[in-house]
Amino acid sequence: MIITSANVLAKAEGAARNMPLADARAVIPGLQYFDDPPDLHNKLLNGLAEWFIRFTPAAAVDSPDGLLLDISGCAHLWGGEAAYMAEIENRMKAFGYDIKLGIADTIGTAWAIARFGNDTSIVEPCKQTEALLSLPAAALRLEFEILERLDKLGLQQINQFINMPRTALRRRFGEDILLQIDKALGFEMEMIQPVIPAEPCQERLQCLEPIVSAKGIEIALERLLEKICTKLKREEKGLRKAVFTCYRIDGKIEQIEIGTNSPTANTGHLFKLFALKIETITPALGIELFVLTAEVTELVTAGQERLWDDPDMLEDSALSELLDRIEGRIGANHIYRFVPAEHHWPERSYQPAASVFEKVQSEWKVERPRPVQILPKPELIDVTAPIPDYPPMNFRYKGKLHKVTKADGPERIEQEWWLQEGRHRDYYAVEDEEGARYWLFRSGHYDATNSYAWFMHGFFA
């Protein structure tokens, strides 16, 4: 059996954490001990974290023996950080807890100060490095193996290795040590997971009488949207995704969901998006509660109004609202915008843009003529062509014989071997007697064994 924790008196006598109980009892004959119920510390810490809501809205459990509090914007309510800390200490003492506190800019430094700091427990802003220098290596939340290796090399204090070249540290001790140093100094972001997660942007509407009509649902939706949009506007945010939930009297839940292309807090527009889906709600006996949740919100960056410049219509809100409406009705996988791709194989020379608002990075290539109409899949045709590589004299497409009067080509397009194996294509642009223009290609070299084939691929304007 091993000691998991000891009180101040026992510690003074010589008992310590991770000490075999037998050893401790040998040292202190009158030692009282109790079984440590599994999961007790987690339960305690969770309870405490919830209790700390009176000090800060974001309190998190740091297993096995700590709590993390995000006190940004809270301390001044108690008259400064020192007073804030004293208050917490007193309250905890009244409960019978002995605690150590540390306040710093980063989670890592606060953790170190609370556990290993001796004289001061408040680290001034941007003074993490100074605060950490005199602390032992264990204050960096490192794994046991790394601590052991550091110890073996005589690097017991942080100031002995914190200024070493990063490459040397990485080679000797792995990536983790750098990560922990960066976290402690604030070069790496670290988030806490509050026990009570941040409330999503939500509005509720309770109904006295159950709602059964579409008009009623519309009115409820309008009211909720108005509330949520005023809230979002105040926070300079826009809605990207929202869920409208209807709780029916019979216990069933009806939901409709919308998404937008760009953040918006325009009540009218959002209502139109929802209105396309209201008919899918079955009220049955009636709906007693409406809840509108803004699942995803984003900051709205107010663009500067331009008077003289020719505005880019792609950035227009009217267009994104239009696309939202179309998406809402027929689905997002029907709307495309194309950007050039760096390939010369025709089928791969363009690709769908990641979003409607993606900027075109590279240039469209126009050196060679390309047909306006293309067949998504080239179609096999019969061709009479002088060998070895003259343009066709005539060809049969969809049962009709076309006599070629003029032709350009060949333009050879090789397979991109790093993507796909196969035969190259020799493209010809040909015109028939009527003036219609076609884009044909022979797949592969001409050879007498007839292993090549001719295809129709497109139509020129």
Partner 1 sequence: MSTKAAIINRLKKEILPLQGFKSTLQNVALNGLLGPVVKAFPNNSFPLGAIHEFISDGATDTASTNGFISVLLHKLMKKKGVSIWIGNTATIFPPALKSFGIAPGQIIFIDLKKEKEMLWAMEETLKCEGLSAVIAFIPELGFTASRRLQLAVEKSKVTGFIVRQNPRNINTTACITRWKITADASKPLYGLPGLGFPRWHVELLKVRNGQPGKWVIECKGGKFIPVYETLSAPLQIRKTG
Residue ranges that bind partner 1, judged by CB under 8 A: 310-314, 316, 318-319, 322-323, 325-326, 329-330, 334-340, 346, 349-350, 353, 356, 360, 364-366, 369-376, 405-408, 429, 431, 433-438, 458-461
Report phi then psi at 62, rounded to 5: -120, 90
CB of 327 to partner 1, least distance (A): 10
CB of 324 to partner 1, least distance (A): 11
Q: Which is nearer to partner 1, 36 or 316 (CB)?
A: 316
Report residue 175 as tokens.
Answer: 């990536």
Nearer to partner 1, 137 or 404 (CB): 404
Neighbours of 151 (CB within 10 A): 13
Tell me which amino acid residue 151 is: D
Question: Whose CA is closest to 395, among 385, 386, 410?
Answer: 385
- Provide the 8-state DSSP code for 314: G
- Please name the residue that has the structure tokens 């010589």: 14
Nearer to partner 1, 365 or 445 (CB): 365
Question: 317 by DSSP, 3-state: which?
Answer: helix
Give the nearer residue to partner 1 in terms of CB position, either 11 or 329.
Answer: 329
The separation between CA 222 and the C-alpha centre of its own chain, rounded to angstroms, equals: 30
Please state the closest distance from residue 311 (CB atom) to partner 1, in A. 6
Q: Which is nearer to partner 1, 262 or 297 (CB)?
A: 262
Cis peptide before 64 (omega within 30 of 0): yes
Half-sphere exposure of 458 (CA within 13 A, CB side): 15
Q: Hey, which residues does 220 pair with through a beta bridge?
A: none
Residue number with CB closer to partner 1 (244 or 438): 438
Nearest distance, CB of residue 442 and partner 1, angstroms? 18
| CB of 369 vs partner 1, minimal distance in Å | 7
Please, what is the minimum distance in Å from the beta carbon of residue 356 to partner 1? 7
For residue 72, give the nearest of 85, 86, 58, 51 by alpha carbon: 58
Q: CB of residue 346 vs partner 1: minimum separation in angstroms?
A: 7
Q: Least separation, in Å, of the C-beta of 109 and partner 1?
A: 48
Nearer of residues 33 and 338 to partner 1, judged by Cβ? 338
CA nearest neighbour of 172 among 159, 155, 187, 184: 155
* Residue number with CB closer to partner 1 (151 or 379): 379
Tokens of 408: 């350009």
- Beta carbon of residue 444, minimum distance to partner 1 (angstroms, whole number): 23
Neighbours of 388 (CB within 10 A): 9
- Does residue 98 sit in helix, strand or coil? coil
CA distance 196 to 339: 44
Q: Which two tokens stand for residue 21?
A: 């109980």
Burial status of residue 411 (CB atoms within 10 A of its CB: 0-12, 13-18, 19 or more):
middle
Q: Which two tokens stand for residue 149?
A: 């290796």
Least Cβ distance, residue 204 to partner 1 (angstroms): 32
Of 26 and 360, CB closest to partner 1:
360
Q: At what angle do helices 267-275 and 214-234 cross, to 10 degrees?
A: 140
Type of residue found at 194: P
Task: Note the helical H segments in 235-316.
Answer: 267-275
CA distance 316 to 269: 14
For the chain, state the CA radius of gyration: 36
- Which CB, 173 or 438, lies closer to partner 1? 438
Q: Based on CB atoms, which residue is closest to partner 1, 19 or 353?
A: 353
Q: What separation, in Å, do the N-terminal and C-terminal C-alpha atoms of the chain show?
A: 87
CB of 415 to partner 1, least distance (A): 19
